[in-house]
Structure 1
Amino acid sequence: MNRTFAIVIIIIALGLIAYNVTMVDFENPLKGDSTVALIGIVASLCAIILMLIFMTSKKIDNKLKK
């Protein structure tokens, strides 16, 4: 995996967050499809965090090799 792949994953996750926010019923966020949308938002945030950790670890690895 390289930097470009990580950025593509982050962009896809941001798109999924935007889509899932439109699916949330803010009056009843824990009922029906809103629950699924909230789970999707949390999963996308986890994917973004993992990709940021991955990119940081690659930077550290490159510095250690130099």
Structure 2
Amino acid sequence: MNKTLSIILIILAMGLIAYNVTLVDFENPFHGDSTIALIGIVASLCAIVLLLIFMTSKKIEKKLK
């Protein structure tokens, strides 16, 4: 996976976070569709963290070679 694809996936995850934030009912965040939106936000954040770890490991691998 190259750097461009990783950046595109990070941008898509940020877009999903923005969309899910609009679905959260902040007065009652743990009921109904708000719970699903919160799960989507957390999942997108995890995806971003994993992609950043992957990109960092590729940089380290490149420096070691």
- TM-score norm. by structure 2 comes to 0.99
Q: How does 1:1-66 map to 2 (within 5 A)?
A: 1-65=1-65
CA RMSD of aligned residues (A): 0.3
Report the alpha carbon displacement of residue 48 of structure 1 after superposing the two structures with TM. Answer: 0.2
Structure 1 residue ranges, 4+ long, deviating more than 4 angstroms after superposition:
none
Per-residue displacement from partner, 1:6-61 (whole Å, max 9, x unpaired)? 00000000000000000000000000000000000000000000000000000000
The amino acid that maps onto 1:41 is I
Gaps of 5+ in 1: none
Gaps of 5+ in 2: none
- TM-score norm. by structure 1 comes to 0.98
